[in-house]
Amino acid sequence: MSFRLTAEIQKMLEKLSKEESKDKSELVRELLTLDIKEKKLRKTIQLYKEESNSLEGSKVS
């Protein structure tokens, strides 16, 4: 897989790479993994909220 990064993102990766003593490839893999996990978590939370709201709306008083 290949992709292009903006100059700004490249600078941020370079800085973070130096701060964490990691090569850029390792850092990008780590960041992508964290973002994917966060997105999954956000989707799970959203589905839970929607289901919770749906159940609340179906309660009979």
Position 58 scores a pLDDT of 66
Greater confidence (56 vs 61) lies with: 56
Contact by Cβ (8 Å): 60, 54: no
pLDDT the model gives residue 54: 81
What integer best gives the mean pLDDT of the chain? 91
Mean pLDDT (whole number) for 17-41: 96
Q: Which residues of 5-40 are buried (b: 16+ CB within 10 A; e: fewer)?
A: eeeeeeeebeeebeeeeeeeeebbeeeeeeeeeeee
User: So what's the pLDDT on residue 38?
Assistant: 98
Token pair in block for residue 33: 């993994």
CA distance 6 to 28: 14
Check: CB of residue 20 under 8 Å from CB of residue 29.
Answer: no
* pLDDT tens-digit series, residues 4-27: 999 999 999 999 999 999 999 999
